[in-house]
């Protein structure tokens, strides 16, 4: 998250644990303002402010850098509340995070044998103590023969052993039950969907059906599907990317037909196998990406629209949703498992640093500015900065696109990494708004409203947005954002995104901006290596 709070400009990185309970690693970079102390605490949507723990103070590890660990004790929609204090005032920031278990951990073999030996020793000592207490603690040695004491000691040890075994069996049964609950209920599994395409040619239609057949009794797989919130005015953001070259891309916003079904008209994409990523946000602030693959039939006489052969607006079939966008570009040209093979289009140098450029469909050019180096490092926090110049080389002012200065999607060449980025970070506007309102709520528990009424009101709101002029729609969207999320750029032809690539590999970045009422998409490739030790 990159956030402006009062006089403070902050860049915040939170790495949630992959096993819950676990600790989240919080790092805060102070880019502007005088900060003397930062405190943090986790706040869950279910329990709100009243059920949240006290704050932990982050440690100042360097100039303008604070770090700390926060315990996340339960799964679900959560947030980290940061309290900033200093000469420039007191501020609070809510950072939405998803506290979900995504991994199973096996105990190291050596640790297991060591604990088993210690446990066996404790059992022997406990049984011995019970036997001694049963004999020596009841009868004085002068009143009882040695044989009687021995028998009572052995009887006590036998009874103690039986009791200890029963305790261990009960504990084992409890532990197995808890492990099964963790594996089957707490361990996160994405909500499955089934994507299909009906029709042919210009009449192709994408249908996304949410599959609830496997939910069972798993509370983590019972998302409240009637309580989907609009994010940037859309109930679902869907990205389509053709494999293996990642050469065809679409950003669509399907309409909700019923609780489980969403539909969108497909643009002029070439046929082939596509990866599909569908983003939704629930009332609890829980943001989820549902994935599938879908086969698109080929369109007759398809003409590729790409960066080198721009098409005029009259040549593009109008879409029912003017915010939908698509692009066909050159393939990445690398194998999915290729490593250490630079393939970035280094056709220019910007401000003395490696850069890249791409031609947009309207003849303008988008530049990747201030790229720190040709090959990036996994886990390193970067600010990805892009600027647009018109055909004459002059700065091209950008218009708001869905209430923000731009959007970006980043996908690894094998499709295993995906993120929908905003200028403020990797979280959603709807998630932050939901969690901020929950924090202001004084009730200990949250009660959901009537599902039908809530769904109908949301559908009416989304429908109203579609009828508004572009300026009014963006004004309404920006007014509904929590404070500090609009993130206006100081230079009106530039957009930037904070991001840390999670794994090494080849990545393609689609940067989307809007000018002259048209959504434009720039394409950039980059290589990411593991950091050097």
Q: What is the mean pLDDT of residues 255-266?
A: 93
Q: What is the mean pLDDT of residues 40-64?
A: 89
Q: What are the pLDDT digits (tens) for 356-405?
A: 788 898 889 999 987 877 789 998 889 999 999 988 888 899 999 988 88
**Which 3 state secondary structure label does DSSP give 361?**
coil
Question: How many angstroms separate the CA atoms of 478 and 485, rounded?
Answer: 8
Residues 14, 97 contacting (CB under 8 angstroms): yes
Nearest C-alpha neighbor of 305 from the set 324, 322, 329 = 329
List of domains in the chain: 2-99 (2.60.40.10), 109-186 (no CATH), 193-432+482-529 (2.60.40.1930)
* 44: Cα separation from own chain's centroid: 16
Question: How many angstroms separate the CA atoms of 214 and 142, rounded?
Answer: 71
Using CA atoms, how far residue 527 sits from 41, 301, 410, 450, in Å, is 36, 35, 12, 49
Q: Which two tokens stand for residue 102?
A: 């995504």
Q: What is the mean pLDDT of residues 269-298?
A: 93
pLDDT grade for 487, boundaries at 50, 70 and 90: low
Residues 244, 336 contacting (CB under 8 angstroms): yes
Residue 70: per-residue pLDDT: 94
Phi–psi pair at 93, nearest 5 degrees: -135, 135
Question: How many angstroms separate the CA atoms of 1 and 81, rounded?
Answer: 13
Radius of gyration of the chain (CA): 29
pLDDT grade for 249, boundaries at 50, 70 and 90: very high
For residues 483-499, b (16+ Cβ closer than 10 Å) or e, as one string? ebbbbeeeeebbbbbbb
CB atoms within 10 A of CB 149: 17
List, as one string, the DSSP characters of 109-150: HHHHHHHHHHHHHHHHHHHHHHHHHHHTTTS-GGGS-HHHHH
Sign of the CA dihedral running 464, 470, 474, 475: negative
- Minimum mean pLDDT range among 58-67, 142-151, 274-283: 142-151
pLDDT over 50 (residue 128): yes
Sign of the CA dihedral running 501, 502, 503, 508: negative
509-514-518-523 Cα dihedral, nearest 10 degrees? -20
Residue 110: per-residue pLDDT: 87
Residue 340: per-residue pLDDT: 38
Collect all residues with Cβ–Cβ distance below 8 Å to 198 and sequence separation of at least 6.
204, 205, 207
Q: What is the mean pLDDT of residues 461-490?
A: 77
pLDDT over 90 (residue 315): no
Residue 186: per-residue pLDDT: 80
Average pLDDT, the chain: 84
pLDDT grade for 144, boundaries at 50, 70 and 90: low
| pTM: predicted TM-score of the whole model, two decimal places | 0.83
Residues 423, 511 contacting (CB under 8 angstroms): no
Q: What is the mean pLDDT of residues 286-298?
A: 93
Question: How many angstroms separate the CA atoms of 10 and 95, rounded?
Answer: 12
**Which 3 state secondary structure label does DSSP give 291?**
strand
List, as one string, the DSSP characters of 203-240: G-EEEEEE--TT-TT-GGG---TT-EEPBTTBS-EEEE
Residue 418: per-residue pLDDT: 96
Residue 448: per-residue pLDDT: 87
């Amino acid at each position: 998250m990159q956030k402006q709070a009062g006089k403070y400009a902050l860049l915040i990185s939170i790495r949630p644990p992959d096993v819950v309970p676990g600790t989240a690693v919080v790092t805060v970079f102070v880019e502007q303002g005088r900060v003397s102390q930062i405190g943090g605490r986790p706040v869950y949507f279910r329990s709100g402010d009243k059920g949240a723990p006290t704050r932990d103070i982050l440690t100042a590890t360097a100039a303008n850098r604070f770090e700390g660990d926060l315990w996340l004790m339960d799964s679900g929609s959560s947030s980290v509340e940061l309290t900033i204090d200093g000469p420039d005032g007191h501020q609070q920031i809510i950072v939405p995070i998803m506290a979900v278990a995504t991994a199973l951990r096996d105990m190291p073999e050596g640790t297991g044998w060591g604990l088993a030996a210690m446990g066996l020793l404790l059992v022997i000592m406990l049984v011995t103590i019970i036997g001694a207490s049963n004999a020596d603690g009841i009868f004085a040695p002068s009143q009882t023969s040695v044989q009687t004491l021995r028998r009572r000691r052995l009887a006590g040890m036998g009874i103690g052993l039986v009791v200890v075994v029963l305790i261990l069996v009960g504990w084992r049964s409890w532990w197995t039950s808890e492990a099964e609950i963790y594996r089957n209920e707490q361990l996160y599994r994405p909500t499955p969907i089934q994507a299909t395409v009906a029709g042919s040619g210009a009449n192709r239609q994408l249908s996304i059906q949410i599959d609830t057949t496997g939910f069972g009794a798993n509370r983590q797989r019972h998302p409240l599907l009637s309580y989907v919130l609009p994010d940037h005015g859309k109930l679902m953001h869907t990205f389509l990317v053709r494999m293996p070259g990642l050469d065809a891309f679409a950003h669509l916003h399907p309409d909700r037909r019923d609780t489980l079904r969403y539909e969108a008209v497909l643009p002029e994409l070439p046929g082939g196998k596509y990866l599909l990523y569908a983003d939704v946000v629930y009332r609890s602030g829980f943001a989820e990406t549902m994935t599938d693959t879908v086969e698109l039939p080929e369109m007759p006489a398809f003409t590729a629209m790409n960066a080198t052969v721009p098409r005029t607006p009259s040549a593009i079939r109008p879409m029912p949703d003017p915010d939908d966008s698509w692009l066909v570009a050159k393939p990445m040209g690398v194998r999915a498992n290729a490593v250490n093979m630079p393939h970035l289009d280094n056709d220019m140098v910007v401000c003395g640093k490696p850069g890249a450029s791409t031609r947009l469909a309207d003849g303008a050019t988008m530049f990747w500015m201030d790229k720190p180096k040709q090959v990036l490092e996994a886990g390193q926090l970067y600010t990805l900065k892009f600027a647009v110049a018109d055909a004459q080389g002059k700065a091209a002012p950008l218009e708001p696109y869905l209430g923000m200065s731009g959007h970006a999607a980043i996908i690894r060449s094998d499709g295993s990494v995906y993120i929908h980025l905003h200028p403020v970070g990797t979280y959603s506007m709807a998630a932050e708004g939901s969690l901020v309102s929950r924090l202001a709520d004084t009730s200990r528990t949250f009660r959901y409203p009537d599902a039908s009424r809530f769904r109908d009101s949301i559908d009416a709101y989304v429908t109203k947005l579609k009828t508004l002029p572009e300026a009014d729609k963006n004004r309404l969207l920006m007014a509904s954002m929590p404070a500090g999320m609009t993130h206006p750029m100081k230079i009106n032809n530039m957009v930037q995104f904070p991001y840390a690539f999670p794994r090494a590999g080849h990545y393609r970045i689609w940067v989307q901006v809007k000018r002259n009422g048209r959504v434009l998409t720039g394409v950039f490739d980059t290589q990411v290596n593991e950091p050097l030790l």
